[in-house]
Amino acid sequence: MAPPEETTAAHAAAEAAAIEENLAAKTTGDQPISTIVIVVAMQTEALPLVAKFELSEDLDRSVFPKGVPWVRYHGTYKGLHINLVWPGKDAVLGVDSVGTVSASLLTYASIQAFKPDLIINAGTAGGFQAKGASIIDVYLASDVAFHDRRIPIPVIFDLYGIGARRTFSTPNLVKQLGIKVGKLSTGDSLDMCPQDESSITANDATLKDMEGAAVAYVADLLSVPTILIKAVTDIVDGPKPTAEEFMENVVAVSAALHYAVTEVVDFISGKSLSDL
């Protein structure tokens, strides 16, 4: 029989080894995904997912700073702890708090509060028919960049402004679900001026939205894997005015987005990051 000192030392060594193994699993993506944060920009996009995953609203909002309009829904679905967050309504104008600033702040606060294994940014986007996009198409963004952060000081500041980065690679998910893949360009305007159009073309983007690259930027800073799922509401290079086409299609496209996000979450359940 080993002396007590040796037993204690062996136990401590075993605990240390277990901790190292768990940390290694998390780092390499071998640990099952447990907690996800779904970031959406609009209530129309959020509510179908709240219903599908049977999430409850966090009414006291104590996880967020006092005074912000941000809304959190949470619950458990197929073994996953889901936190769905959206920036809420502007306190003065009563409209959805869309855009990169709200998305960045909410993403940062949610990562700090919930420590997710994975972030999903789900939302609507404009699509370019020249790149093969059609209304109600759903895409997984492979790359993101900004098109309205113009800092024409080469060679570094201009690249910083564009902020191009790859999203988390999910080849098995793409293959299994047959989802389309395309590049996403983000800016704070719904319309598209000539300078934006030039930048979007340079970004080789199929999709255009108002928050994706901002969410990806914050998640990348804090080393949280992120995937972006975007459903096409309007054809940016088509004949109809963007705002008009967006309003015509947003409800139907939100339903398509809801279906696609459900498929993605179903696929994620029980898997590790490396399985995606």
pLDDT in tens, 180-194: 999 999 999 999 999
Helix (H, G, I), strand (E, B) or coil at 237: coil
pLDDT value of residue 19? 41
Active-site residue, 45 included: yes
Identify whether the C-beta of residue 2 lies closer than 8 Å to the C-beta of residue 10.
yes
CA geometry: angle 168, 161, 128, nearest 5 deg: 65
* Token pair of 76 as six digits: 């458990």
pLDDT value of residue 257? 94
pLDDT value of residue 155? 81
Active-site residue, 209 included: no
137, 143, 234, 245: the catalytic one is: 234
Q: What is the pTM of this model?
A: 0.87
How many angstroms separate the CA atoms of 48 and 45, rounded?
7
Residue with tokens 């290694």: 24
Angle, to 10 degrees, between the axis of helix 242-268 and the axis of helix 43-52? Answer: 30
How far CA 71 is from CA of 89, 125, 251, in Å, comes to 9, 22, 20
How many angstroms separate the CA atoms of 190 and 8, rounded?
64
How far CA 33 is from CA of 131, 153, 216, in Å, comes to 33, 41, 19
Going by the DSSP 8-state scheme, the letter that residue 196 receives in this structure is H
Residue ranges of domains in the chain, CATH in brackets: 33-270 (3.40.50.1580)
pLDDT value of residue 54? 97
pLDDT value of residue 5? 46
Average pLDDT by stretches of 10, the chain with 276 residues: 47 49 53 96 94 95 93 97 97 96 98 98 96 96 97 91 96 96 97 94 97 98 98 94 91 92 97 97
How many angstroms separate the CA atoms of 33 and 50, rounded?
20
45, 96, 137, 196: the catalytic one is: 45
How many angstroms separate the CA atoms of 117 and 224, rounded?
7
Angle, to 10 degrees, between the axis of helix 100-114 and the axis of helix 212-221? Answer: 40
Q: How confident is the model over 93-126, as pLDDT tens digits?
A: 999 999 999 999 999 999 999 999 999 999 999 9
How many angstroms separate the CA atoms of 256 and 245, rounded?
16
Residue with tokens 């960045």: 104
